[in-house]
Structure 1
């Protein structure tokens, strides 16, 4: 077994060039920004690209470190024109000492679907359930796709940008009925905008 300590960290420019060649024609882009490489892919090619990143000799990303949902509907102060939902993953190659971010866009804003990568990395299991729970992204092929953080009776997906801050329903224990009940939210919605104070010479710094 090769130990990562025997390898120098792969230069991001080298990784970018390698992945551009490896994934040519299958991805939207392989970008390099702030020393990090990001692969952007459509839903249709997502599973194939992820398997390549795991298995190809020049990639060998054995570990899926993280996966989360994204809602781009208010990104860039509303200037975003691409698909609304995406899943963003972070992959690690221990053997080659390199990392990559993969951003996969869902094709349909109204019913966002991506293939599950749980069959490639079992660490994706709870991450995909979380993205389903909080963003409503459906991971096709996941064998246990159910809510993981919110209650079973929860309505909606609370990390979507259009989800109300106070939620839709509130729950409480009813002593007379001796069970938990759900009722419409009674909190008055309000917006709290922090007061921002700007000083050109704050703290005596110039």
Structure 2
């Protein structure tokens, strides 16, 4: 007797075939990795194929793998990870697509397939700098319009690059370089043990 996960895995392999770069099962969840060039067609198949019917995109988030596995990760740096739900079949799927270029991460937008992804793609753009090709309104959603950088990238400084404050003389909000002094972020217990400090 086949389990629900095995049935989903077989349906995915049958419907997507060589479009699947990898398929893993962990903790009762299936994850497929799709190449950026096959991403749009694969996502349409996931939604429309009778054996799959993933009608809902529940979530999409960006991921920065630059420090993954203690910095030993050798694959692409940025990925967009989608979570899909099939109400008809009562199963879930995680789909990961890596941006081929680390300097300018671009993946196709799936907003035409699932309109609910609109704000999720904007969030991944704002926080990670992942561009979604074909998104008709890709702009910042959580940070200020004048914000510099993408704050969820692993190389973004904890204190940021600029700070915003109201200047009473100019009677407006101004941006200036960060004036916060760097502080020790190693917990005292570890500092004392490792460096012999008291």
Whether TM exceeds 0.5 here: the answer is yes
Q: Which digits, 9 at most, give the CA deviation of each residue in 1:149-199, with x for residues without a partner?
A: 0000000000000000000000001111111000000111234123679xx
Partner of 2:120: 127
Pair 1:57 & 2:17 matched: no
In 2, the alpha carbon distance for the partners of 1:164 and 1:190 equals 12
Q: Please state whether the residue corresponding to 1:44 is helix, strand or coil.
A: coil
**Structure 1 residues 189 and 101, CA gap change in structure 2 (3 angstroms):** same
Runs of 4+ in 1 over 4 A off after TM superposition: none
The 3 A distance-change label for structure 1 pair 195 and 66 is farther
Q: CA RMSD in A?
A: 1.3
Are 2:84 and 1:91 equivalent residues in the alignment? Answer: yes
Residue aligning to 2:160: 167
TM-score by length of 1: 0.88
- Equivalenced residues, count: 188
1:41 maps to which of 15, 34, 42: 34
Unaligned runs of 5+ in 1: 1-9, 198-206
CA deviation profile, 1:20-63 (whole Å, cap 9, x unmatched):
22111112012111110001011111111111100000110000
Q: Select which of 175, 187, 192 maps to 2:185.
A: 192
**Distance in 1 separating the partners of 2:10 and 2:89:** 15
| 1:105 and 2:69 matched | no
Match of 1:14 in 2: 7
Partner of 2:129: 136
Unaligned runs of 5+ in 2: 191-198
Normalising by structure 2, report the TM-score.
0.92
The answer to whether the 8 A contact 1:83-1:106 is kept is: yes
